[in-house]
Structure formats: structure tokens, C-alpha cells
Chain A
């Protein structure tokens, strides 16, 4: 698999270019149009690195293609060339699949339009660009490995040793990986074979790979410390302690935020919001979360009709707000889904539906109420 034919390399270069284009596309597209991505110093630096690496990839590919061409010529002379179609198809599949994946990325990228940025960039763009750079590094690495492989064969020829001698030399050489595993050279294997065999299977008496053994000890140590911290010294929090801490922290943060923002509306202070923007926002939330039970028109279905004069839990702004926020009986609560401001918007929209007389309304439920009569008591069905 490692040695690439010239054709495959050309294919690969095309693949790289296309996939890089793929990557840049969302990066460029996702950036907000006003302050262009090109004015951001971080973005510029990253783009520059990307371009530089791309040039390096180009040069290395050219070298590799050249080297491989020579190799192929030699092989052709020896009649060793076999066409391998399947791996090419595989590459094509991978290429298209990465296209599919790319297409999917765009959805979340758009959704995560958060306030937080990294060095003035949207996190998605930032990570995407870094991802591209990482990919480029990997490609360079792969190219270097291939070039080295090609050259190594040539070098071996130059040493003047016979191929057998070279294999012998290799068999006795121990790499860093071998040292980590306490590998014995292949030439000593005969000494390691144990005196038993089962259906022709022999076993070697190699020692345990040291990194494996010490890793095992390390996990045992981890286990002891973990149990000690959680259940003896209690320096690590239990699940419930963790929960309480996270909720307290979040509460403080939210309070801090709301204080700064001044969005302190609640059921005691809420008023009808007549503005077109508020009603439009209310409508869109209504369509999303309320329409399945109350119908898009508010005519009622599973939930009661919201357009008539009959109300179950009060029809003044404060009562409607409260009903939506905390829920009651079968009406779900929405306080964890929508902010108080949003609830005020929906409540206002609901109020605005009054008297619209939609088609096929649900029969009245609750008590007859004049507009803006405060809830005296909850009326049972």
C-alpha cells in the first residue's frame, strides 16, 4: 500500500487539492460577511501557513511522482507492473464520502453562531483551519515516508551488499520500538522457542513488553488513588455534590448576566408587548412549541382554544405568562426552554390571537372571562 504508483499519486494530488478546496469553502463561507476574514490577523496567519504547507505538498508530490516514474519504468522493464483498480475506487469512495461529511458539517457550523470567539474567529472556523493544517502535515508526512522508501531501495543497492546480507542486517537491528518492547533480534528466535507445540503452533518465551507492564502498574495505582480520593479522603466530589456545585455556579452566572442585561421581567412585572418584533418572535416560538397542541391558528386541539372568551387559568397577561412559564396540569412548563422575555413574547402573541375566530375551533373550556379579568381561581374542566 505504501508505494504509490504514478497514476495514484496524480490522483492523490487531485484528491488533496479538491479536499482542500472543500475545506476552504465553508471556512470562507462561514465567516460573517461584514468584517471579512481577511482582516483578522489570526486568520491571515493560519491561511498563510496553509498556503505554505500546500506549496510544500506540491513540491514533495512532484519529487515523489518523478521518483516513482523512474521506479515504474524500471519495473515495466522487469514486467512487474500490475494494475490495481480497486484501491483507486476506494480512494474515490473516500473522496466522495469526505464530501458528504463536509456537507453535513455545514449545518452545525451555521447553528453554532455563538458569541464566543477564538482570537476573533468563530470557533468552528478556527478549528476547521487548524484541522486543515493538521491534515496538510499528515499528507507531508505520508509523502516523506514514501520518498524515503523509494530512496532506501536505491541506497541499499549502492552499499554493494547482497540482498541476503541486507535482510540479515535488518534482522539483527533493533529499533526504538523494539527496545520499548524488549524485542529480541529475529536471529535469536531459535533460542526463544519453547519445548512444546500444539497442532504445529509453537510458543516463544519473550518477556512482557516493559511499557505494557508499567502501564498495567500505573492503572492499578490510578485505581487505588481514585478509590482513596472518592471514598476514603473524600477529596473528590460525589455525583450529587458535583451536581449541586454545577447548579450553584450556573445560577450565579445567570444572575450576574441578567443583572447586567437588565432582563428582569417575571410574572409580577410582565406587561403586554405590542411591538411588531415582539409579536413576530412570539409567533415563531408559538409555531415551534405550541402549535402541536393548540393548532397554528390557536383554535385548539389537544390543548384548549386560545382565541375564544373561555379560559381555564386566567386570561390577563400575568396569568398567561405564569401558565406558560410554570405549566399547569397537562400544560408543560417552558421555563427551562425559553427565557422570561421570550415567554412574555409568546404570551403577548397568545393575547393577540383573541377574537380571531379561526376555522374549526375547539369547544370552549374553562370559564367565560372578559378581556383582562385577573384569574380569581383556577377553573376545573
Chain B
């Protein structure tokens, strides 16, 4: 048989690798900065773009899509070519993918800092960027599938199954969750509202973790771990079972982000049980990784690449065990909205994703530069510094989450809340400081890696096109009986379609009833659409990323009802495009903030939170006092809302600004009574209007009765 000679494209791997390094450092810096702001609010520099609410989405997006994304692409382009014994399908597509993705990242960074956001976590990017992501993703898909189709290896290795499942599922998640109605260039409203928006969003959010941070990285593990350890993969059968079980079960688990919320109970229960069933499929990956090292543990002592991998896989195992535990309702009642969740995701982020990305960089770069790592010792030091960084990051936050949550729930024997919100914040400030030290150490470690890799590149010489040879694939009759899964492994399109079917089931079963069965979101007659001024205020709330620290979801717990008011009902959110339930309570819940404080309190509080709430860690929002409200956008916003079913009367878009000014004038007059002079057409007035509306629709009558019967102790 004729042996073909061909070349692996290393240049594209190099490009993605360098992007990983650059954006990794940027993302970590943003994270560290945000972490410092939590205990030192002045470090926001009192500038809108660098304030926590905008910096936090920048951090999460940079780490997920820029750092881990680029690392995955680097690893995929490196391993896919070698596993398929073929160069990438098209160099042109490779470079379109690369530059397209980097352009998206840059556009994301700029727009997020400008406050252009959809307000949905990890899907904050606005609609033009969403479309760009879809296009680049399709380019990547064609390139990957093209490579697979022209491969010289008959069967697909397990790593490629994971790549394919990743591609098809991320496409589905991204498209479904990003359906939004554009208002203008860079402003849109989510098509879904309230409970449905929450369900779709967390189906996406959870599975972004699953299919952007887990499955591609598992694929990388399956390639780089056996290569680095030079050991055979422990169990082929385990690969098959844990792959299919993982992708099938993962997709269902989204509702565990919404336990005890207004989401229907049956959907919450599905989230719980599928999360619990997810332990074994996740651990299948961990076991297959760690057991592959059987007989190679002596190498782990020597090789920093393997050291990173072992800790990464262990962190993966820890996080995927903890996740199901956090999905149990009684644990979630304590952990949710607290720093516990932040600690949990950083075990995954810093440990699993970060360390695995470091390990493949340490592996690939010397290989592609035809040399050895510049300093093994420095890499080992990076490993230890990173590990200590993870511990110093996570342990204080676990502590903080647990402590604060228990404080929230404490009552005096007389039946009053024992701690005011501010007291619970004060008690965990030292933990916030310690965690930023941990994050700092981790970053220093990463910088050591940058130096080490730079020196490695300098001493080697880059092989842009690596020669390889293999026999071409010949069509042969499959007379010989094969193991059933081997048949799928030689049919990439079948594998892709099967994956899509398997991942589509869970979402469909959860969505369809929630969207179609009325009883799942009981309507409340007194809930009315926002006034134009409130709508503008809400957009400012979304723009400043208030949802990154404030929830709008009072769970049916004694302490939350005492602290914040009647628990939230599904019917209250039917006009919320997007929903703003939040996932973290760095500050108190705002679901019933309306009428709690005078307008002037909010005015002063936005100017300097500490004047109204001593010890507060909220940043200042001074620019809201000066920025003129963009009333020109009101008609378009009303029209967009009408399109997605919010019942404003026909032709209201043209009258809206009249109503808006009337309400703004009354608020300005109200402020004047408290000796605050402000023009009515500034952003703060709109924001006050929104905050004063929050949760008041059902506050009117029935709610008062409920709270008094509950808490009056005679």
C-alpha cells in the first residue's frame, strides 16, 4: 500500500496557544481586580467600566471563552490532526476560526466594559456578537468534521467523540439561549421572560460548564494524559459508558441552579435527580484518567506535566462530587446565593480547567519547538504555587459561604432575625481578603509559566509543518463482525447525529411543558408591565450588572420572608425580559426593594453607599447622577417589548416618553422635598423608578396579611 506523506499544521496550534496565555493572564487579572473590589470598593476607581458589575462578566467571559476556549482549540487542533493522521481540512478555515474567535473576544471585552450586556450570565454578549459566535462556530465545525472525514485512521478515538459532542451541543445551547429581539445595534431583550428565561438560561449556563469547560477538556485529557504518561488508557468500555451517560444526563441538570425558586417543583426535582445521577458518569472520566497512570506514578513525581494533570483530574473529581451534593435541596438551601458556589466553581476553574490548560501548554510547546522545557524546576514551582493558590482561594470562601448563610438564617428566640445583612458581610471580609491572596498566588504561578514557556520557545526552533506519514484509508467491506460501538466509531456523522439526539432529549422534556402548560406559571392579575421610565431604569440595572451581586428571588424560607418580604411567585416575572434573579447575594435581595426606602435614600446610596449603609462594600455609582437619560430609545424599546408579547397598548411607543417625563418629574419633586436638587432626565431617576417598583405589584394587598400573620408575636 502506498504510504502518504503529509504535514501537521503546528502554526495554528501555536496561535491558539499564545492566545490562551495572553487571555489567561488578562482573565485572571480581571478576576483578581474584581476580588479586591469586594473588600476595597474604591479600587473600582469610581469609573463605570472598571466597576465590579462590569468587570465580573469580563472575568467570567475571558476565562471561559478566551482562556479555556483558546486552550481547548489549541489542544483540539494539535490532537485532532494526530488522531486523524491528517492535516486540518482547510488552513483557511483554521485561520478564519482563529481570527474570528479573537475578534469576538476583543469585541466582548470592549462591549462588556461599555455596559453592553444582555444580563444573562455567561451569555452576556449582545446580538451582533452572538451571530458572529454562531458563524465562527460553524466554521470550526466544518473544519473539524472535514478533517475527520478525510482522516487516515479508520476509527475515531474517544477524544474525538468528546470534541464532536462539544461542537454539536454548544451550537444548540448558544442558539436557543441567545434568541433575543434587537432594539438597536448592541441592545436587545431576551425572547423569553421570567421563569422561562430562567430555565433556558440555566439550562445554558449549566451546560456551558458541561460542554465548554468539561467535555472538550475531557477530550484533551484522553489525548494528552496517555501521551505524557506513555501508558495505555485504562478502560475502553469505561470510555464508552461514561461518554454517553455524561452527555445524556448533563443536559437535564440545569434546574439545580433554580432550587426553591419560582420554577415549578417538578422541574426542580428533575434537576436534583439528574445531578445526583451525574456523579458516576463524571467520575468515570476521572477514574479512566487516574487509572491510566497505574504503573506510572513514579513519572508523576518527576514530570510537571503529569503533576498538573493529576491535580486537575482530582479537582474535576472533587467538583463533580460536590456539584451533585449542592444540588440536594437541603444543602442548596445553605449554599445557594453564598460564596460556597464561588468556591465550588473555582475548584473546577482553577483546578480542572486551569491546571489542565497549563499541562497541555507545558506538553505541546516543547514538542512543537523541538526542544525540552526550559526549566522543569520552575514548572514544578508553578505547580506548587498554583496548588497553594487554589487552597487559599477555596477554603476561605467555603468558610465564608457557610458562615454567612448560617448567619442569614439565624433567629433570636424572640423570633427576630439575629443579624442584619451588613453584619453578615462584615464577618466575612477577612475571608475575601485571603481569597484574593490565593488568587494572586495562582496568577504569579501563571506568570512563571509565561516566562518558562518564553524561554523554551527561545531555545528551540519552531516546526511550523511537522512531517508525518500514513497509509490512506481504503474502503473495505465490513464482513468481519465488529463490537457495536466500533461501528459508530467509524461513522462520524452518525456519531454527531446520535450525540445531538441524546443531548436534545433533556432540554425538550423540561422546556415544552414549562412553555406550554399554563399552570406552570400562574398569572397574577395585579402584575403589570413596567412604565417607560421603569423600563429605562431596568436597562440601567442590567447595564451596570447589578445582578452580579443582588438577587431578585426570595425563596420560601422563614428567614428570607422575614428579611425581604413575601416569597417570589412565578407570575411576578412575566414581563421580565431578561429575568434578573441573579445567582449571588453579595448584597441583599432586591425582589421587594420597592417602597422600602425613600427616593432620597436611593439617591444618596448610589452616590455613596456608605453614607446610607455604613460598612457597605457596594461601589459608588456617581455617573448615574450626571448621565442624561437616553429617552430617544424609548419608542424602540416599547415596540420591541410589544413584539415579544408585553401588553402595551397599540401606539403606546409614541406616547411613552410623555409618561416617562411625568413620572421622572414626580420623582425629582419628591427628591427636592429631601433637599436634593436634580434634573428629572438623569439616569438615577430612572433607576430609582425601577427600584421603587420592584416587587410592589403583589405587595399591594395580599402580601401584607401574610407577613403580619407570620411574624407578629403577641
Task: Verify A231–B269 contact, CB threshold 8 A.
Answer: yes
Task: Verify A87–B283 contact, CB threshold 8 A.
Answer: no
Distance, CA A204 to CA B226, complexed state (A): 12
Task: Verify A219–B279 contact, CB threshold 8 A.
Answer: yes
User: What residues on A are CB-neighbors of B420 within 8 Å?
Assistant: 288-289, 337
A90 adjacent to chain B (CB < 8 Å): yes
Distance, CA A242 to CA B556, complexed state (A): 8
How many residues of chain A are within 8 Å of chain B by beta carbon?
Answer: 85
Scan A171-203; emit 1 where CB is below 8 A from any B CB, else 0: 000000000010100100100011010111111
Task: Verify B611–A201 contact, CB threshold 8 A.
Answer: no
Query: Which residue of chain B has its CB nearest to the CB of A254?
Result: B415
Cβ contact of A208, chosen from B235, B266, B430, cutoff 8 A: B235
Cβ contact of B277, chosen from A223, A258, A289, cutoff 8 A: A223
Within residues 262 to 287 of chain B, which ones have a CB less than 8 A from any CB in chain A? 265-266, 268-270, 272-274, 276-277, 279-281, 283-284, 287
Distance, CA A203 to CA B557, complexed state (A): 51
Task: Verify A332–B596 contact, CB threshold 8 A.
Answer: yes
Within residues 650 to 693 of chain B, which ones have a CB less than 8 A from any CB in chain A? 673-675
Interface stretch among B128-136, B172-180, B388-396?
B388-396
Interface SS, A side: helix
A240 adjacent to chain B (CB < 8 Å): yes
User: What residues on A are CB-neighbors of B284 within 8 Å?
Assistant: 212
Task: Verify B673–A381 contact, CB threshold 8 A.
Answer: yes
B455 adjacent to chain A (CB < 8 Å): no
Task: Verify A238–B273 contact, CB threshold 8 A.
Answer: no
Q: A198-B83, A207-B235 are in contact. Are A101 and B396 (CB under 8 A)?
A: yes
A247 adjacent to chain B (CB < 8 Å): yes
B702 to chain A, nearest CB (A): 15
In the complex, which of the residues B232, B265, B434, B612 has the most CB atoms of chain A within 10 Å of its own CB atom?
Answer: B232
Task: Verify A336–B412 contact, CB threshold 8 A.
Answer: no
A251 to chain B, nearest CB (A): 7
Task: Verify B280–A337 contact, CB threshold 8 A.
Answer: no
A223 to chain B, nearest CB (A): 4
Scan B122-145; emit 1 where CB is below 8 A from any A CB, else 0: 000000000000000000000000
B252 to chain A, nearest CB (A): 10
A239 adjacent to chain B (CB < 8 Å): yes
Interface stretch among A15-23, A46-54, A103-111, A271-279?
A103-111
Task: Verify A216–B280 contact, CB threshold 8 A.
Answer: yes
Cβ contact of A181, chosen from B291, B556, B613, cutoff 8 A: B291
Distance, CA A222 to CA B278, complexed state (A): 12
How many residues of chain B are within 8 Å of chain A by beta carbon?
Answer: 93
A40 adjacent to chain B (CB < 8 Å): no
B621 adjacent to chain A (CB < 8 Å): no
Task: Verify B417–A257 contact, CB threshold 8 A.
Answer: no
User: What residues on B are CB-neighbors of A362 within 8 Å?
Assistant: 675
A132 to chain B, nearest CB (A): 17
Interface SS, B side: helix
User: What residues on B are CB-neighbors of A100 within 8 Å?
Assistant: 430, 434
User: What residues on B are CB-neighbors of A266 within 8 Å?
Assistant: 714
Cβ contact of B412, chosen from A215, A222, A339, cutoff 8 A: A339
User: What residues on A are CB-neighbors of B713 within 8 Å?
Assistant: 251, 254-255, 258, 340
Q: A86-B380, A266-B714 are in contact. Are A250 and B287 (CB under 8 A)?
A: no
B604 adjacent to chain A (CB < 8 Å): yes
Task: Verify A339–B280 contact, CB threshold 8 A.
Answer: no
Task: Verify B381–A227 contact, CB threshold 8 A.
Answer: no
A206 adjacent to chain B (CB < 8 Å): yes
Q: A204-B234, A239-B556 are in contact. Are A104 and B434 (CB under 8 A)?
A: yes
Q: A103-B430, A181-B291, A239-B260 are in contact. Are A86 and B558 (CB under 8 A)?
A: no
A11 adjacent to chain B (CB < 8 Å): no
Within residues 356 to 381 of chain A, which ones have a CB less than 8 A from any CB in chain B? 362, 381
User: What residues on A are CB-neighbors of B270 within 8 Å?
Assistant: 227
Task: Verify B236–A204 contact, CB threshold 8 A.
Answer: yes
Task: Verify B414–A254 contact, CB threshold 8 A.
Answer: yes
Task: Verify A108–B269 contact, CB threshold 8 A.
Answer: no
User: What residues on A are CB-neighbors of B265 within 8 Å?
Assistant: 230-231, 238-239
Distance, CA A208 to CA B710, complexed state (A): 54
Distance, CA A86 to CA B382, complexed state (A): 11
Query: Which residue of chain B has its CB nearest to the CB of A206?
Result: B235
A197 to chain B, nearest CB (A): 8
Distance, CA A192 to CA B326, complexed state (A): 38
Query: Which residue of chain A has its CB nearest to the CB of B420?
Result: A337
In the complex, which of the residues A94, A201, A220, A338 has the most CB atoms of chain B within 10 Å of its own CB atom?
Answer: A201
Task: Verify B232–A108 contact, CB threshold 8 A.
Answer: no
Distance, CA A200 to CA B598, complexed state (A): 71
B52 adjacent to chain A (CB < 8 Å): no
Within residues 207 to 225 of chain A, which ones have a CB less than 8 A from any CB in chain B? 207-209, 212-213, 215-216, 219-220, 222-223
Scan A86-104; emit 1 where CB is below 8 A from any B CB, else 0: 1100100110010011011
Task: Verify B598–A202 contact, CB threshold 8 A.
Answer: no
Task: Verify A223–B273 contact, CB threshold 8 A.
Answer: yes
Question: What would 9 A/B residue contacts be, using CB atoms closer than 8 Å?
Answer: A239-B555, A243-B557, A258-B414, A258-B415, A263-B414, A302-B598, A302-B674, A332-B597, A336-B711
Known A94-B388, A199-B83; further 19 A-B contacts with Cβ < 8 A: A101-B395, A183-B294, A201-B226, A204-B233, A205-B235, A206-B238, A215-B280, A230-B265, A231-B265, A238-B265, A243-B556, A243-B558, A247-B710, A257-B413, A258-B415, A264-B714, A301-B674, A329-B595, A335-B711
6 nearest CB pairs, A to B: A216-B280, A223-B273, A330-B598, A243-B556, A254-B415, A202-B232
